[in-house]
Chains A and B, each alone.
Chain A
Amino acid sequence: MVKRFSSEGKDAKEDPSSSSQTILIPDELCEKAGLTLQWSGIGELGIHAFKHVDKLSIDNPSEFAPTDTFVHNLRTDSILFEPVIRKLVNESNGTFLAVQKLTPSTSARSETLALSRQYRSIVRACIENLQISELDKNTTYKLTPQQRQHYVAIFYNIEFIWHLCEILFVDSVPGAVVLPHLLDWIRFHFPDTERAAGQILTGPLETGAELRNSDYWDVVIGLIMQGSLEPARALLRLHSNADSECFLQAESLLKTLPVFKVYGGLSTAEFRTRWHTWQTNVSTKVESGVFTSEKNLNTVMKIISGDESSVNDMKSHCETWYQLLVAMLLYKEPTVKTFELNRYATSCMGYFGGPERMKVLDEIIMDLFECNILEVIKKLHLSSDSGWAATHLTNLLHYCGRLNIDSQAYDSRLDENLLIEYGCLLMSHNSLWQVGVTYLDHCGPQGRACLELLLPRLKPGSESRTLKIIQIAAERDMPNTVNSICKVQGMRCLQRKRIGQALCWALKSQDPGFATHLADKLLLEYTKGGTFNCLDLLDNLGSCMLISDRLTFLGKYCEFQQLFRNGATREAAVLLTSLFTSKLCPKYFTLSLLMDSLPLLESTDVTLLSAEDTSNLLSCLEELADDCASSANQAAVMDKIKLIRLAMNKNLAKSLIFEACHPQILD
């Protein structure tokens, strides 16, 4: 019944100069007449063919009539709503909430690093899920292989960027050496070399490896460029000429290469001295031609000597400019600081065609090296993950104190706008809305205003869903929202003639007018049928009945009936009298109430209703009689009135006599 138009149908003609997309509505009438759009619900909209009419238009059928007209109901969709990706939404929510418990600070903290890694592992788990679901034949996820590939691509890139961001902004101490982390980053995302090395090393461990593996030197150079010296040396030992002088020299140089360790006990200056001594040694040997007999080994040694001329050799072993950047830094500037990266990055990019050849991913990485967080966020926000990465990363960076730009150009916290947008998106989804609430919770007054707007608009479903919504509103101290939701529920029940349920909701909504209306309905129903259809509720109103006079009367009346049924006639009589004297009884119900007094009046126990009580009742009766006399067609009512009057007179007489004889009872 419902089919998804394949997106291969190139119905978007993109204007490269603007970021807007064109969506074509497959409707001929819309094309001929024009169209209009109406928003509905949360994140839904309707489109229909439309031609403007105004007071000057003649009220005739349009030029298109008769025609079929369509309404196209559209709902914003997001890849976050894919079942396979929802896990990411839910898990990242947990991490997000943990982040909110921190206080913003610029110092590198293990907490922020741990949370950042948690986010990344969630992204990885998501990629893993996508890949597993591909193999799982029983899966119900209807993803095409292309879609899956896209999703994997999106999240892979997010993780890649996030990792670098983590190195540069989350886990960074100002002035600290970043290269070891950058090496990790590159090694992790470009594992081919290591994998190839592993393959060679798992083969026969004897010399002649370069003859058995055509990619031997590529692997060695790759390892050197990623700073993986151990496997590189292991490979060199497998070379046929490993025993020759030049290989032995290389081995000893590689073995003595000083590696900077953050907690190595060496100051940067000391390390630099050592490094220089070592590298001068390498350069001298390269220049004196120690390695010229082995061309490839010579290249390796030139790279580690930091020789400018080796850049082209290195470039041919890199897929991307940032691989080159890290390799270059490793042998040229191993103690490079974060703020110096920018310069090297620009020059490396030059080797790969400069800014013109850059794709968005390159641009984002460049922006990161330039510490231009704002640009990064902007570009990430445009990505197809519905702002998931931009929102969570910005929020994390806020807690890392990296968004000091906030106060200058924006009226509010930068991450708040993103959080609101993300939260609202989730609120538009039938089962993710509760996750959305937690994001809006952390957006200050604007988030609260959003919640007040959206909570009542969540589509009413089962009662448990409604109760959940009410609970969430109540926890956030939004009484008006709670009352409104309850009132709407009450009206729905009323429409279905479920008066009892409606009354329950009316009490919850604290709406006196509504409660009065429902009490009236119940009383009128009783005068016709003689029963209440929700006696349980009415018998247990308690103090709730005080919300409206009419409901109070109804509640007390039910109490009277209960007393009477249970044989407590004396208490019943007292209550009945007070019902009359309080003037709470609505006119239409006076007769019913008077009829109820009959058994008490006719009781043999004279003391139930005193002479004064009876007089009060009598005055009510006469008032009613006057009203009825003025309106015609009340014969049946007049008969009843006569009957009651007679009973009252008898009781009045009896009680007067009794009271005269027993004056002490009155005292």
Chain B
Amino acid sequence: MLFEAHSINAEHKDLIHDVAYDFYGQRMATCSSDQFVKVWDQDEHETWNLTATWKAHSGSVWKVTWAHPEFGQVLATCSFDRTAAVWEEIVGEGTAPGERGMRHWVRRTNLVDSRTSVTDVKFGPKALGLLLATCSADGVIRIYEAPDVMNLSQWTLQHELSSKLSLSCLTWNPSFSRQHPPMLAVGSDEANQSLGSKVLIYEYNENSRRWAKTDSVPGVTDAVHDISFAPNLGRSFHMLAIATKDVRILTMKPRQDVVVQSGQPRFDIQTVAQFEDHYCTVWRVSWNVTGTILASSGDDGCVRLWKCNQMNSWKCVSVLKGDGTQACTISGAPTAQGTTSSAQTSSSAPSRKFAESAIEKSAPLTSMWQPAVIKGRFTKRTWIGAEPAPPPSAIDKSKSYARK
């Protein structure tokens, strides 16, 4: 793989807890223990500009996530301060110079139902309407709904499910259909192995209009830190990545003949990959847009990219890690004067581009290509007709290959 990079100084004065990109990858929201949320926009020159920064919570902001753009420019955050919040960007209507077109983010709602830290927050698939699920350290999953998608200040708590396990992460299944009812999975970072599976599956029952736990993933009894459903490309099964003491990829095939709550497992769950390459706890997993590459971040300070080959076996294709020796200091980074809801645009720090050039070293093949490869009729001479002319037969041949 070959990459081109733009590095920006995120201007949080501490570690970033979470970065979320919008649907297109054109906007970026960051959150940190400084309790601020920042929004960055990419301009047509692919430069990232800080367009908003505001204090969102009274505790560290754990996670930030975007809603589908069909619902406008909407963010949700969750925090140590036991709340989750929904934010909407609005464009000012003021007529004063400089005021028109100003954007700022307003808090549309503050979800204060949890009595403990809200550890994850995710918007549901858009086809279900505007749904927001949260999970918290006391083991409660809450599903909120904005009944009128054009009015984000009204949210109703539709469902409250208690899992009896301290929850750390949740993921919506992006696909559902007649065969697949709405589904989400939660993970628990409860270390006690005797409490059983740490990954629980919940499904919505259309008839009872309720969410219920329909299955749990066997064999995952260690603490789970992150969990993510892969996009479904027309498959009949679901694919779930789990960050626990190792990285796991599971497939889940719904069993056709099983009556829910009959005590039988609802899914045929198979582990298709299990990697211990991090040699330690895995914190995060993230799928690329088509669900073909999984990124896992471990306590070993590495990110690994996993890809499925044609034989349906998963292999590590890249390892990314930090290197302080190369760190270039980025000077002159303008600091955004961090007023709440500031709409000022401060240009990002000079970005850098770095190419891990596959040509030189990463792809095994080129390095093994024979060095003196230009033996054929591909020398300058042949192509531009410089002296001396190639033998007549050569000319004839190259003519015979003339494109039609």
Quick one: given A50-B297, A64-B15, are A156 and B373 in contact (CB under 8 Å)? yes
Chain A minimum-CB-distance residue to B38:
A71
Which one of A38, A135, A450, A458 has the greatest number of beta carbons of chain B within 10 Å? A38
> Is the Cβ of B370 less than 8 Å from the Cβ of A359?
yes
Determine if A86 is an interface residue (Cβ-Cβ < 8 Å).
no
> Is the Cβ of B7 less than 8 Å from the Cβ of A360?
no
Stretch at the interface among A147-155, A171-179, A614-622, A659-667: A147-155
Q: For B260, list chain A residues within 8 Å (CB).
A: none
A319 CA / B295 CA spacing, docked (Å): 44
A10 CA / B116 CA spacing, docked (Å): 48
Determine if B14 is an interface residue (Cβ-Cβ < 8 Å).
yes
A189 CA / B398 CA spacing, docked (Å): 12
Which one of B284, B287, B359, B401 has the greatest number of beta carbons of chain A within 10 Å? B359
Q: For A117, list chain B residues within 8 Å (CB).
A: 401
Contact partner, A195, options B15, B70, B378, B390, Cβ 8 Å? B390
Determine if A297 is an interface residue (Cβ-Cβ < 8 Å).
no
Quick one: given A69-B16, A117-B401, A191-B376, are A31 and B362 in contact (CB under 8 Å)? no
Determine if B205 is an interface residue (Cβ-Cβ < 8 Å).
no
Q: For A360, list chain B residues within 8 Å (CB).
A: 364-365, 368-369
B118: min CB distance to chain A, Å? 10
> Is the Cβ of A446 less than 8 Å from the Cβ of B234?
yes
Interface residue range, chain A: 35 or more
Chain B minimum-CB-distance residue to A31:
B322
Contact partner, A29, options B281, B305, B322, Cβ 8 Å? B322
Contact partner, B286, options A3, A37, A55, A198, Cβ 8 Å? A37
Contact partner, B24, options A31, A41, A157, A495, Cβ 8 Å? A41
> Is the Cβ of A12 less than 8 Å from the Cβ of B369?
no
A66 CA / B14 CA spacing, docked (Å): 6
A53 CA / B109 CA spacing, docked (Å): 25
> Is the Cβ of B289 less than 8 Å from the Cβ of A188?
no
Determine if B257 is an interface residue (Cβ-Cβ < 8 Å).
no
Stretch at the interface among A125-133, A257-265, A471-479, A567-575: A125-133
Stretch at the interface among B193-201, B246-254, B266-274, B323-331: B323-331
A156 CA / B359 CA spacing, docked (Å): 14
Determine if A361 is an interface residue (Cβ-Cβ < 8 Å).
yes
Q: For B168, list chain A residues within 8 Å (CB).
A: 54-55
Stretch at the interface among B155-163, B209-217, B309-317: B309-317
Cβ contacts A to B, 22 pairs, < 8 Å: A3-B353, A4-B355, A23-B319, A26-B323, A26-B328, A27-B7, A27-B323, A27-B324, A30-B322, A32-B324, A39-B289, A41-B21, A65-B15, A71-B10, A71-B40, A191-B377, A195-B390, A361-B370, A424-B290, A457-B289, A484-B126, A491-B71
Q: Which residues of A contact B (CB under 8 A)?
A: 1-5, 7-12, 14, 18-55, 59-62, 64-79, 114, 117-118, 120-122, 124-125, 127-128, 131-132, 135, 147, 150-154, 156-157, 159-160, 184, 187-192, 194-195, 197-199, 319, 359-361, 378-380, 382-384, 386, 409-411, 414, 417, 420-421, 424, 445-446, 448-450, 453-454, 456-460, 484, 487-488, 491-492, 494-497, 513-514, 517
10 nearest A-B pairs in the assembled complex, by CB-CB distance: A41-B25, A30-B322, A40-B21, A7-B357, A28-B324, A5-B354, A31-B322, A198-B391, A26-B326, A40-B25
